[in-house]
Amino acid sequence: MLRLRTKEEEEDSREISHLRQTVLQNNVKLLDEMLCQEIYKKVINCRGGWGIAGTPVHAAVSKGHLSCLQVLVAHGALVDCVDVKAQTPLFAAVCGKYLDCVLTLLEAGANPNGNVSNNCSPILTAAREGDVAILKELLKHGAEVNSRSKVSLWTSSAKVSSGPLYLAAVYGHMECFKLLLLYGADPDYNSADAKMLSSIKQPKTVLEMCLRHGCGVEYIQLLIDFGANVYLPTLIIEKSTKQNKAVELLLQERGNPKALSSQCRLTVRRYLKKINKIHCIDQLEIPASLVNFLQYKSVPDSFLANHWLLLKF
């Protein structure tokens, strides 16, 4: 049942509207002056009135107004407030591809995973859009690399949970794809959610989905290098040059065991992922060449031949 707003609510609504308009106009000086007044400070985290979805922070990031965002944060604005769709300011900043706003929010303590009530998340959006710089910042600040959308996909008659790795592959964002793997994305399944996987009769690996979508051979090679299971239940071979090369690569891998150095690298990386330290490889007290090796950077074969045993520690 509708009710009329009280006099106090009407006054708050006017102040919220003034605050929002000042942010949208990017009037940083006026905004700072307004927030020094109690009447505006008390509504700093309020969503707008009729038809307004978000808070002043949402308004700032929706336009990429970094200076206004910084003023709002300095005056105590909440960085994890949500709009009517349960979208946080960070989610809005990622959607707008405003890297500076993303950094400001993360440094102010914003949750890199967004809000659990939202169907999507910042990392899923960054992976889908192919925004490497933003994706890297989210991962550095602890975003869940195996995050998944609450909306399942039905692709090629197979129910699939659309995780970041899957999205990066099907949208052709190679740099994002590799970055996700470097930060510990599961090379076998695009979701680590046990409940979701238990509801799928035949869960599809990222490798299978890459084959179905005709992704380039370089995607298949990366998955192999990062330890994906190459013994798929079935191989659907279509008339595609890319896929034929990919299948040939898989068959080669099945017939040749991995080198001990590769096995050792995978073991170390799995352990680091288990203790939530995969992002700390640069901080390991080991030779720089071994750090590069763990990060899949070029390392002379002669060095590995002499030092691969060090990777056990």
Instruction: Give the separation between CA 135 and CA 179, rounded to whole angstroms.
Output: 8
Please give the backbone phi and psi of residue 155, each rounded to the nearest 5 degrees, phi first: -120, 130
Per-residue model confidence (pLDDT) at position 204: 74
Per-residue model confidence (pLDDT) at position 248: 84
Q: Mean pLDDT throughout 38-43? A: 94
SS3 of 189-238 = CCCCCHHHHHCCCCCCCHHHHHHHCCCCHHHHHHHHHCCCCCCCCCCCCC
72 has a pLDDT exceeding 70: yes
Per-residue model confidence (pLDDT) at position 312: 45
Query: Is residue 26 very low, low, confident or very high in pLDDT (cuts 50, 70, 90)?
Result: very high
Distances (CA, A) of 140 to 134, 135, 143, 242, 250: 10, 9, 7, 33, 32
Q: Mean pLDDT throughout 144-157? A: 66
Q: Which of 153, 152, 158, 88 is nearest to 123 (CA)?
A: 88
The model's pLDDT over 213-237, given as tens digits with 9 standing for 90+, comes to 888 899 999 999 999 988 865 666 5
Domains of the chain: 1-118 (1.25.40.20), 260-312 (no CATH)
Per-residue model confidence (pLDDT) at position 302: 55
265 has a pLDDT exceeding 70: yes
62 has a pLDDT exceeding 90: yes
92 has a pLDDT exceeding 70: yes
Instruction: Give the separation between CA 240 and CA 246, rounded to whole angstroms.
Output: 10
Beta bridge partners of 154: 159
Per-residue model confidence (pLDDT) at position 197: 61
241 has a pLDDT exceeding 60: no
Beta carbons of 162 and 151 less than 8 angstroms apart:
yes
The model's pLDDT over 156-212, given as tens digits with 9 standing for 90+, comes to 444 455 789 999 999 999 999 999 999 999 998 765 556 656 666 666 788 888 888
Beta bridge partners of 153: 160
